[in-house]
């Protein structure tokens, strides 16, 4: 099988589609961020799914950007890099939640509750160092990166503009999380999941016509 750039981009579209679907599903089944949830099987499953989703998202947005590399310009590059950094940070934090917090639940409950408080919005307990600041920076990367990538995709005009607009809107709508009590703010992840799935579906289903060989006059 000959592996081409278009072939890889198409499979990256499938990764984006799966990331979007997982992003929505995870919000529906995510347990409450409290000490008793950390050691449950549901917690392990959901956070393993989140790591998988983040990897799919990284592959997916790489394909989205690669498909419109020239047309997206510097705006697209900036959006791609910032949005990618968000998913890298998500993978790192989720790894801690999935594999480290359960081990510390009995020996260092205050640290675990403090770590969970970063995302649930509850008062942090214990010394968390720069972790809250890093998590806040991740939120900025999500908003700015998603917004820039969405705008660049609209301007490029290659992938569906409505999907790109939804991506930009989904990123900015996170600012409304302060108006919703956790975990109700999880509903704001649904537009982002739909946007990723839509863009991924567009990449996956895209068919490029092979150029006809030039006619050579006899």
For 3, which DSSP code?
Answer: -
Average pLDDT on 52-81 reads: 96
Give the total number of structural domains in the chain: 1
Could you tell me the sign of the dihedral formed by the alpha carbons of 142, 148, 150, 153, in that order?
negative
In a domain, 212, yes or no: no
Non-local (6+) Cβ contacts of 213 within 8 A are: none
Question: Which of 134, 59, 54, 56 has its CA nearest to residue 88?
Answer: 54
Q: What domain range is 151 assigned to?
A: 5-205
Confidence band for 216, pLDDT divided at 50, 70 and 90: very low
CA gap 133, 140 in Å, rounded? 11
CA gap 218, 209 in Å, rounded? 26
pLDDT in tens, 65-75: 999 999 999 99
Whole-number pLDDT of residue 125: 52
In a domain, 210, yes or no: no
CA gap 110, 133 in Å, rounded? 19
pLDDT tops 90 at residue 154? yes
Lookup: tokens for 73? 């310009």
Average pLDDT on 94-122 reads: 89
Whole-number pLDDT of residue 132: 86
């Amino acid at each position: 099988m000959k592996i081409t750039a278009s072939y890889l981009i198409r499979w990256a579209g499938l990764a984006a589609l799966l990331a979007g679907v997982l992003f929505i599903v995870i919000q529906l089944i995510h347990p409450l961020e409290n000490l008793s949830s950390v050691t449950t099987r549901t917690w392990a499953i959901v956070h393993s799914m989140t790591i998988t989703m983040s990897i799919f998202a990284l592959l997916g947005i790489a394909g989205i950007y690669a498909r419109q590399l020239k047309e997206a310009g510097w705006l697209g590059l900036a959006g791609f890099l910032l949005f990618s950094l968000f998913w890298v940070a998500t993978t790192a934090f989720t790894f801690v939640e999935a594999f480290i917090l359960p081990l510390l639940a009995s020996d260092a409950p205050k640290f675990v509750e403090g770590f969970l408080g970063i995302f649930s919005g509850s008062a942090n307990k214990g010394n968390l160092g720069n972790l809250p600041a890093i998590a806040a920076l991740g939120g900025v990367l999500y908003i700015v990166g998603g917004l820039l990538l969405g705008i660049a995709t609209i301007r490029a005009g290659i992938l569906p503009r409505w999907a790109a607009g939804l991506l930009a809107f989904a990123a900015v709508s996170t600012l409304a999380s302060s108006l919703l009590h956790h975990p109700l703010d999880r509903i704001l992840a649904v537009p982002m999941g739909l946007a990723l799935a839509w863009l991924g579906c567009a990449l996956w289903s895209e068919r490029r016509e092979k150029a006809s060989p030039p006619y050579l006059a006899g």
